[in-house]
């Protein structure tokens, strides 16, 4: 008998990447700050999850505390519900919308391209953003949070046909996305590279966690947004950052 455990060795980031790439629905509790899905107030949950659950369902937590007092036993030997409620009230509650905003860094806006050598070497590691009437200017990433970990996401603001020939060896060709579409380019640690002529930091990318030499960013995602005007964002590594933005797209 064969045992097949397709995600057994995946990281949490890899699991969420596949979920969001596939469009498979997931429980909204994760977007509310929970790290696991079980009973609202589960005896096996972490302290952080229990505190968050008490913030989300204060009436239920109060019922648990009442039962504790009535029967003379704790919810958990190491953690009575009364302590959880106290901690939930004391901690600063950040709204989901506010948490999403705080976890997102806008890196720039412009037409998305990448250096030719990225395709030639199969690294696909960096991109740059062109601006100006003729696309002759470049966004610089002097203030990019180098060393930070997260997801690189391109939010499409304007669309146009791409004249790129694609990656013939892989059978990849550019496609035109929809305005407002959010395209996840990859996850990893932020780094920048200078333009060889000007020395300015005009390229930004992600170093993947698994140490691979190729496809640091997702080539299919790159060809999805090549030559499109995008808002490039770095989103903190976590599932809550993949919800579609409610912001009205801004022209570059």
Q: What would the pLDDT profile of 67-88 be if each residue is shown by its tens digit?
A: 999 999 998 888 899 888 988 8
**Region of poorest pLDDT, from 101-110, 158-167, 173-182, 202-211:** 101-110
**Region of poorest pLDDT, from 2-6, 123-127, 140-144, 228-232:** 2-6
Both 157 and 191 in a single domain? yes
Sign for the CA dihedral angle at 194, 197, 202, 203 comes to negative
Please state the domain count of the chain.
2
**Model confidence over 159-171: pLDDT tens digits?**
999 988 999 988 9
Rounded Cα distance between 44 and 177, Å, is: 43
Question: Is residue 136 situated within a structural domain?
Answer: yes
Give the domain-ending residue among 93, 125, 146: 93
Both 76 and 112 in a single domain? no
Question: Is residue 25 situated within a structural domain?
Answer: no
Both 214 and 130 in a single domain? yes
Give the domain-ending residue among 67, 93, 119: 93
Both 107 and 211 in a single domain? yes
Rounded Cα distance between 209 and 200, Å, is: 26
Residue 245, classed as helix, strand or coil, is coil
What is the average pLDDT across 126-152?
88
Give the domain-ending residue among 47, 75, 93: 93
Which is nearest to 112 in space by CA: 222, 22, 188, 238?
Answer: 222
pLDDT of residue 1: 63
What is the average pLDDT across 99-127?
86
pLDDT of residue 237: 56
Question: Is residue 12 situated within a structural domain?
Answer: no
Both 66 and 110 in a single domain? no
Provide the mean pLDDT of the chain: 83
Both 217 and 138 in a single domain? yes
pLDDT of residue 21: 78
Q: What values do phi and psi take at 205, rounded to 5?
A: -160, -170
Both 166 and 43 in a single domain? no
Question: Is residue 41 situated within a structural domain?
Answer: yes
Rounded Cα distance between 235 and 150, Å, is: 5
Rounded Cα distance between 177 and 226, Å, is: 10
Can you give the residue range of the structural domain that contains 118?
A: 98-242
Both 44 and 127 in a single domain? no
Which has more confidence, 96 or 154? 154
Question: Is residue 17 situated within a structural domain?
Answer: no
Question: Is residue 78 situated within a structural domain?
Answer: yes
| Token pair in block for residue 122 | 């199969």
Is the pLDDT score of 241 beyond 60?
A: no
Which has more confidence, 10 or 60? 60
Both 133 and 190 in a single domain? yes
What is the average pLDDT across 20-37?
80
Both 77 and 140 in a single domain? no
pLDDT of residue 114: 94
Both 111 and 231 in a single domain? yes
pLDDT of residue 132: 77
Is the pLDDT score of 138 beyond 50?
A: yes
Which has more confidence, 50 or 103? 50
Is the pLDDT score of 18 beyond 90?
A: no
Task: With 0.75 as the threshold, say if the pTM is over it.
Answer: no
pLDDT of residue 20: 78
Sign for the CA dihedral angle at 15, 17, 18, 23 comes to positive
Is the pLDDT score of 244 beyond 60?
A: no
Question: Is residue 69 situated within a structural domain?
Answer: yes
Rounded Cα distance between 230 and 154, Å, is: 6
Both 156 and 198 in a single domain? yes
Which has more confidence, 113 or 55? 113
């Amino acid at each position: 008998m064969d045992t097949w455990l397709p995600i057994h060795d995946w990281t949490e980031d890899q699991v969420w990447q596949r979920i969001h790439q596939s469009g498979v629905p997931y429980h909204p509790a994760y977007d509310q700050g929970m790290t696991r899905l079980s009973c609202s107030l589960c005896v096996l949950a972490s302290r952080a999850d229990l505190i968050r659950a008490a913030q989300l369902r204060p009436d239920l937590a109060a019922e648990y505390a009442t039962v504790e007092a009535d029967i003379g036993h704790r919810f958990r030997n190491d953690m009575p519900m009364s302590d959880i409620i106290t901690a939930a009230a004391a901690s600063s509650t950040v709204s989901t919308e506010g948490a999403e905003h705080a976890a997102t860094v806008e890196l720039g806006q412009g037409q998305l391209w990448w250096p030719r050598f990225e395709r030639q070497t199969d690294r696909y590691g960096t991109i740059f953003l062109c601006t100006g009437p003729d696309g002759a200017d470049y966004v610089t990433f002097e203030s990019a949070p180098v060393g930070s970990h997260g997801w690189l996401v391109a939010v499409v603001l304007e669309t146009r046909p791409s004249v790129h020939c694609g990656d013939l060896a892989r059978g990849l060709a550019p496609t035109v996305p929809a305005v407002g579409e959010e395209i996840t380019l990859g996850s990893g640690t932020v780094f920048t590279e200078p333009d060889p002529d000007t020395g300015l930091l005009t390229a930004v990318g992600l170093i993947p966690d698994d140490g691979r030499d190729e496809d640091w960013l997702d080539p299919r995602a790159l060809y999805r947004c090549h030559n499109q005007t995008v808002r490039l964002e770095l989103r903190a590594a976590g599932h809550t950052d993949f919800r579609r933005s409610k912001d009205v797209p801004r022209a570059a």
